[in-house]
Amino acid sequence: MNDNVSNRARLRAIAVTVMRARGLDPAMPADVLAQTAALQGPAQTTEEPVRDLRALLWCSIDNDDSRDLDQLSVAEPLGGGATRTLVAIADVDASVAKESPIDRHAAVNTTSVYTPAVIFPMLPEKLSTDLTSLADQQDRLAVVIEFTVASDGSLTGSDVYGAKVRNRAKLAYNAVGAWLAGTGPLPPAVAAVAGMDAQLRVQDGVAQALGGVLHEHGALDFETVEVRPLFDGDTLSDLRPETPNRAKALIEYLMIAANGVTARFLAAHGSPSIRRVVKTPERWDRIVALAAQTGDSLPAAADSRALAAFLAKRKAADPARFSDLSHAVIRLLGRGEYVVELPGGTAPGHFGLAVKDYAHSTAPNRRYPDLLTQRLVKAALAGHAAPYANDDLERLAAHCTQQEDAANKVERQVQKSAAAMLMMSRIGARFDALVTGAQPKGTFVRIAAPPVEGMLVSGQQGLDVGDHVAVQLSRVDVDRGFIDFVRVGKA
C-alpha cells in the first residue's frame, strides 16, 4: 500500500474489505440516504400512551466521545431502603418504521461495527447520534423500564411504559467512575445540574445492591481490558487499555435489571421474545484444570456459583494476574447467542450473569435485536399482536447471532491491524504472554504492553488456554492483521 496513505485511511480501507468478506455492508444504500435526508426532526408521536417525565433528573453515562446515546437513568428513594429506578431507552421504532429502507439496512448488519479508525453505524448517523439519540438537553420519546429495588437488592415491582424524557447531563464513564471511587473530582457536567451529585449516589447505591444479588446467585465477575486507539491527527499513536470502573458497573447492573424486566414483561403479555443466552460452557473441563493450577477445585459439572467463588478468590489473592485469568475463562465460556422464547417456553438462561430472563433491549441505536424487542414491547403497550411471526423471529435471531459474530471478528481483525502498525518497529522484541486460544487452527497469545494478541507460530505444542509463556515477535502483516510470535521459554 502507498506509504503516503495515513494510518486512519489504511485502517478504514482494511475494515471495509474485511466487512464485505464477512457478509457485512460498510455503506448506506441510496434508498437509506434518501429516507434519512427526508427526516425533518425527532419523532414527536407514537401509538402507545406516553407520560411526560421531562422534569426528572435524567442523565446519560457513556464513553467520553459517544453520541449514539441509547439510555438515561434516574432513581428516587422511597423510604425503608427501597428505591424506584427508571431506565429510559431511546424510542428508535418511532422514527424507523418496520421494513422501511433504514430498517432493512439495519437488518443486514444487525449491529454497529466499532473499528479503530472509524465506526460503521447500524443506523445513519443523523438518527443514531441525533434524532434517535437521547442527546444532551433534548426532548425525546423513550420506552421507560421502571423497577423498585429493596434494600437487599431484590426487585419488588416493575413496569414498562412510553414516556417523553430530557437528558439533563451527558456524563462520561471515566470522570464519574473516578468521582464515585473517591479518586477524582466532581465532574463539571455533574456540578452544573443541581442535585445531580446526590442523584448519582442514589443510582450507584441501587447498582451496588443489584450487583450484590447477582454475584450471590453466581454471576461471574471478570476484569477485562478494553483497548481504545489513540490518534494524533490521522496517525495511530497508541493503543490504550481501559479497565472497568464504578460508573461502568453502575450502568451494567442497571441495564441487566432492565433487560430482565423487559423479558418478563413480554412473557406476562403472552408475547414471544428474543433472549440473549450463554449456554453451559462446553470447555468446563479446561476451566476446572485452570483452577487446579492455582490449588483450587471446581466441581466436575458446570456450576456458575462455584466458578464465581473461584474468580472472587483469585481476584483477591492475585489481582495483578486476574485480568489474564478473566480473558482465559471468557474464551472458554463460549459465545452468546440469540434465541426465541415463545409464550410458556423455557429458553436457556445466561450462564455468565446467572439469570434466566434476559432480553437485549437497552441499545436500539446500536443493536438490531434491541430494536426488534422494542417493537414487541410497544405492540404489547398499544394492545396489538406481535409485529413478527414466530418463524420470522427465529430467522432473525439466528441472523443476528451470525452477524454479531461476524462484526466481532471484523473488530478483532482491524484491531490486530492497528496493533501490527504499532508493532512493526519491534520485530525481535521479547514479551511475557498469556495463551488465549488453543484450537486446531492455531494457538494465540496476548501480551500486556502494548495490549495486543497474535498467533504463536512456533513452540505451541502442549500449550492450552491460560498458560503463560515467553515469546518473541517474529513478523507482522498490517493488511491481514497478522502478528506472529515464537516461543522462547517460560514466562
Is residue 409 domain-shared with residue 344, that is, in the same domain? yes
Distance CA 491, CA 488 (A): 9
Number of domains in the chain: 2
Q: Which structural domain range is residue 436 located in?
A: 427-491
Q: Are strands 50-52 and 155-166 parallel, antiparallel or unpaired?
A: parallel
Whether residue 83 lies inside any domain: the answer is: yes
Nearest to 450 by CA among 477, 478, 473: 473
Instruction: Please check whether residue 294 is in contact with residue 314, taking contact to mean a CB–CB distance below 8 angstroms.
Output: yes
Residue carrying the nine cell digits 456450576: 303
Q: Where is the domain boundary, 418, 440, 463?
A: 418
Is residue 344 domain-shared with residue 487, that is, in the same domain? no
Distance CA 273, CA 262 (A): 9
Q: Cis omega (within 30 of 0) on the bond before 369?
A: no
Is residue 470 domain-shared with residue 339, that is, in the same domain? no
Residue length of the chain: 491
Q: Which helix (H) or strand (E) holds 266?
A: helix 246-268
Q: Which helix (H) or strand (E) holds 83?
A: strand 82-90
- Residue type (1 letter), 209: A
Whether residue 455 lies inside any domain: the answer is: yes
Is residue 266 domain-shared with residue 373, that is, in the same domain? yes
Whether residue 186 lies inside any domain: the answer is: yes
- Residue type (1 letter), 253: Y
Whether residue 314 lies inside any domain: the answer is: no
Whether residue 300 lies inside any domain: the answer is: no
Is residue 344 domain-shared with residue 463, that is, in the same domain? no
Instruction: Please check whether residue 142 is in contact with residue 87, taking contact to mean a CB–CB distance below 8 angstroms.
Output: no
Whether residue 305 lies inside any domain: the answer is: no
Is residue 448 domain-shared with residue 410, that is, in the same domain? no
Instruction: Give pLDDT, residue 365.
Output: 98
Is residue 97 domain-shared with residue 208, that is, in the same domain? yes
Instruction: Give pLDDT, residue 324.
Output: 80
Instruction: Give pLDDT, residue 491.
Output: 67
Helix (H, G, I), strand (E, B) or coil at 194: coil
Q: Where is the domain boundary, 418, 436, 457?
A: 418
Is residue 369 domain-shared with residue 478, that is, in the same domain? no
**Residue 164 has which C-alpha cell?**
417523553
Helix (H, G, I), strand (E, B) or coil at 476: strand
Global model pTM greater than 0.85? yes
Q: Where is the domain boundary, 418, 449, 464?
A: 418
**Dihedral pair phi/psi, residue 364, rounded to 5°:** -70, -15
C-alpha 177 chain-centroid distance: 18
Residue 290: CB partners within 8 Å, gap ≥ 6? 325, 328, 329, 332, 465, 466
Q: Where are the alpha helices (DSSP H) in 56-195?
A: 101-109, 125-126, 173-180, 188-191
Is residue 449 domain-shared with residue 370, that is, in the same domain? no
Is residue 106 domain-shared with residue 148, that is, in the same domain? yes
Is residue 409 domain-shared with residue 433, that is, in the same domain? no
Whether residue 297 lies inside any domain: the answer is: no
Instruction: Give pLDDT, residue 361.
Output: 97
CATH number, domain of 480, equals 2.40.50.140
One digit per residue, the tens of pLDDT, for the chain of length 491 reads: 555 689 999 999 999 999 999 999 999 999 999 999 999 999 999 999 999 999 999 999 999 889 999 999 999 999 899 999 999 999 999 999 999 999 999 999 999 999 999 999 999 999 999 999 999 999 999 999 999 999 999 999 999 999 999 999 999 999 999 999 999 999 999 999 999 999 999 999 999 999 999 999 898 888 877 788 889 999 998 888 887 899 999 999 999 999 999 999 999 999 999 999 998 888 999 999 999 998 999 999 999 999 999 999 999 998 877 888 888 898 898 889 999 999 988 878 898 898 889 999 999 999 999 999 999 999 999 999 999 999 999 999 999 999 999 999 999 999 999 999 999 989 999 999 989 888 788 899 999 888 888 999 999 898 988 889 999 999 999 999 999 999 997 76
Whether residue 406 lies inside any domain: the answer is: yes
Q: What is the DSSP letter of 367?
A: B
C-alpha 248 chain-centroid distance: 11
Residue carrying the nine cell digits 476451566: 287
Is residue 367 domain-shared with residue 447, that is, in the same domain? no
